[in-house]
Structure 1
């Protein structure tokens, strides 16, 4: 898997409710250490260090406080724009169609605007789709990052790594598109 897709996949995993499978998994730590991008590596290591410094139950409680009880830090990216309005449901339909066009099949019951799902889809599709999804959700991701950073949340490290990775990926994609014109 290409490095940018690995960063997106790992961030997707870390942004979900903490799981025993990755918690204190030394292989993940070793993988992060091998990333070529120094900035993203540092951001992911900062989050890793935070997560393994806590007992698992405390990590899980902090996750719930951060994301489940905060409207400002919702991982459902269209919630901040539409709330529970009807337009949000219409947006879901369009988003599901975009996933299908890219060949990504949503499994499970998560809504299509759930950031970990978006990052997972990006990790499994081509850069053109990453570009499209990023610009659909860029404003919401930037707002989430600003909120997390303002709250000194360790999850801000993950968003920083994601945003840097996506900015680089989009720049490469735009460069590639310009060369073909």
Structure 2
């Protein structure tokens, strides 16, 4: 009996072949997490919120809550992410407040490669970054979520809180979009032997695995850094007529000119000087 011919992968004009369907499903799986049970969804939300809390500045309120945070992490269902957070919680609870504050400032405020502002890694100091910030802020507003404005919308704890609130689809889209920046932050924290690497490692386990293109892009970021155009963040909130904003982007109104009080009229009885 002659062997059966190999199935064709191309069917012009007909239904897609099985390999094509498989590729489409693989691409879809990479773009979004698989369907989760209610218990898995609840655990995922808690993990995202825990990462958001742990990446905030360790002020008095946060450090006072360390026992509760450690207990909540210990109660998480077993997973790679929970294991990473357990390692971080052990360090967090063992440090004094001054040490925590100094270490946080050193890692996230003084080192550009581990900054928590995600659009910096994608756009650097260019006009495109201002546009990306506006677009991200628009995404939050469209979902009915208003930040308190104390941080830029691309600050990682803010992005994580939105992901927890809005869910794995649109809520986690900014995290997937900035995966390469997250990889760079994790690498920088690992090189610095910072315990915060465990929090980034926990977060990365919740995202699709990196592609070869992702790894190559991260290597370029390490070697060359983000784009640089020395324009700062002026476009954020000051687009004016929106010359850099894409169609549909939220553009804040221009500030009103200052009110000028007219000078008091000169008395008629006063002669010329």
Alignment length (residue pairs)? 168
* Residue-by-residue CA offset, 1:44-77 (whole Å, 9 max, x unaligned): 1111111122111111100001111001111001
Are 2:197 and 1:119 aligned? no
Distance 2:178 2:70 in 1: 29
Using the TM superposition, give the Cα deviation of residue 135 of structure 1 relative to its aligned residue in structure 2, in angstroms: 2.1
Distance 1:60 1:52 in 2: 13
3-state SS of 1:111 partner: coil
3-state SS of 1:57 partner: helix
Using the TM superposition, give the Cα deviation of residue 82 of structure 1 relative to its aligned residue in structure 2, in angstroms: 2.5
Larger mean CA deviation between 78-87 and 155-164 belongs to 78-87
CA RMSD of aligned residues (A): 1.8
Q: Which residue of 1 aligns with 2:195?
A: 154
Q: Which residue of 2 aligns with 1:137?
A: 178
* Residue-by-residue CA offset, 1:1-48 (whole Å, 9 max, x unaligned): 811111111111111110323325322211111111332222111111
* Alpha carbons of structure 1 residues 17 and 133: separation in structure 2 relative to 1, 3 Å: same
- Structure 2 runs not aligned, ≥5 long: 1-40, 210-273
TM value normalised by structure 2: 0.58
* Alpha carbons of structure 1 residues 127 and 81: separation in structure 2 relative to 1, 3 Å: closer
Q: Which residue of 1 aligns with 2:49?
A: 9
What is the 5 A alignment of 1:72-151? 72-151=113-192
Q: Which residue of 1 aligns with 2:105?
A: 64
3-state SS of 1:165 partner: coil
**Kept after mapping to 2: 8 A contact 1:32/1:45:** yes
TM value normalised by structure 1: 0.85
- Structure 1 runs not aligned, ≥5 long: 169-181
**Structure with the larger RCO, 1 or 2 (CA within 8 Å, 6+ apart):** 1
Q: Which residue of 1 aligns with 2:267?
A: none
Distance 1:141 1:45 in 2: 20
Distance 2:208 2:48 in 1: 12
Larger radius of gyration: 2
* Alpha carbons of structure 1 residues 118 and 85: separation in structure 2 relative to 1, 3 Å: same
Distance 1:83 1:134 in 2: 17
Runs of 4+ deviating beyond 3 Å = none
